[in-house]
Amino acid sequence: MLETRTQIRQIVDSERFNNIVFIAILASSISIGFETYDWGATGNRFLLYLDWFFMTIFVTEILFRIYAMRFDFFKDPWCIFDFIIVGIALFPSTGVFRVFRVFRVLRAFRLVSRIPELKLVAESLIYSVRGLSAVATLLMVVIYVFAVLSTALFQNSGTEGAIYFGTLGKSLYSLFQVMTLESWSNGIVRQLIEEEGWWVGFYFVIFIFMTTFTFLNMFVAIFTNTVVALEADSEEGINNEVRKIQSQLDVLVDEIKQLRAGLEEE
């Protein structure tokens, strides 16, 4: 029993097995995209059989991993991620569960757990949530302050002022549009400049510098620092393993030397 589990563990950890799973995930994601078209009765039936084939591969993979890893399977966040994605895809696509059919496309996210570079990016994003949340909170405060100011300044500035800044809600949405640089000049600001004067352009340029440029750079800086930190931790972990193996080899060499010295004395 233990020998069988060890053999299966070697299989699921092998590069060939993981490459097969990777190809199956990629092919499954492509086939789900094909299902958005109508291929006729024969074509749709073929895609349905193909979907069952891929699901058989994924379920078999998960069962093998659970059998080989036992409780360690549920200690690995990426294994849990795969388990949830495959579990969602197993829901029937009829009756009340029809809504779950669309979630089958989530299987494409399993590619993240199979590509080391994508895993690093995903882990960096997760570990960056705290810092990004703080920056996002500060960004919302800045937008709220400008929304209140903009409502007071521009709600009576002609038709455009009423449309874009007539209420606090409209101001929040309009400032979000300005922050994304989507038609902010020709669509909003130039009309307000004609009504109020040149200082309106200066006002919105300040807003753009405080939000779009400053906060975007802060988001990038936090995410980049997290990626670098995770890479450093990974390299440190590898170095620690190398040092541990080296120390074990040193102990083994010392024991061999002592044994050799004892044999020579005899």
**Between 193 and 103, whose confidence is greater?**
193
**Between 244 and 18, whose confidence is greater?**
18
- What is the rounded distance in angstroms from the CA atom of residue 138 to the CA atom of residue 215? 9
**Between 33 and 175, whose confidence is greater?**
175
pLDDT tens for each residue of 128-163: 777 788 888 888 999 999 999 999 988 888 888 888
- What is the rounded distance in angstroms from the CA atom of residue 121 to the CA atom of residue 223? 9
Q: Compute the Cα dihedral for 232, 238, 239, 241 and give only its sign.
A: positive
Q: Compute the Cα dihedral for 249, 253, 254, 255 and give only its sign.
A: positive
Assess whether pLDDT exceeds 90 at residue 172.
Answer: yes
Q: Compute the Cα dihedral for 104, 57, 29, 18 and give only its sign.
A: positive
Give me 25's structure tokens.
């995930």
pLDDT of residue 143: 92
pLDDT of residue 44: 85
**Between 225 and 205, whose confidence is greater?**
205
Average pLDDT, the chain: 79
pLDDT tens for each residue of 117-127: 777 777 777 77
DSSP-derived secondary structure letter, 210:
I
pLDDT of residue 1: 60
Quickly state the pLDDT bin for 19 (edges 50, 70, 90). confident
Mean pLDDT of all residues in 52-62:
88
Assess whether pLDDT exceeds 90 at residue 237.
Answer: no
**Helix/strand/coil percent split, the chain, to 5:** 90, 0, 10
Q: pTM for the whole thing?
A: 0.58
Assess whether pLDDT exceeds 90 at residue 74.
Answer: no
**Between 92 and 226, whose confidence is greater?**
226
Assess whether pLDDT exceeds 70 at residue 263.
Answer: no
pLDDT of residue 107: 67
**Angle between helix 129-154 and helix 214-265 axes, rounded to 10 deg:** 170
Give the domains, in start order, of the chain with CATH numbers. Answer: 2-114 (1.20.120.350), 129-235 (1.10.287.70)
Q: In this predicted structure, which of 33-37, 190-194, 197-201 has the lowest mean pLDDT?
A: 33-37
pLDDT of residue 210: 87
Quickly state the pLDDT bin for 248 (edges 50, 70, 90). low
Mean pLDDT of all residues in 231-252:
57
Q: Which residues contact 61 (CB under 8 A, 6 or more apart)?
A: 12, 21
Quickly state the pLDDT bin for 246 (edges 50, 70, 90). low
How many helices (H) and strands (E) the chain has is answered by: 12, 0
pLDDT of residue 241: 54
Chain centre to alpha carbon of residue 262 = 60
- What is the rounded distance in angstroms from the CA atom of residue 156 to the CA atom of residue 188? 14
Quickly state the pLDDT bin for 93 (edges 50, 70, 90). low
- By three-state DSSP, how is residue 219 classified? helix
pLDDT of residue 207: 92
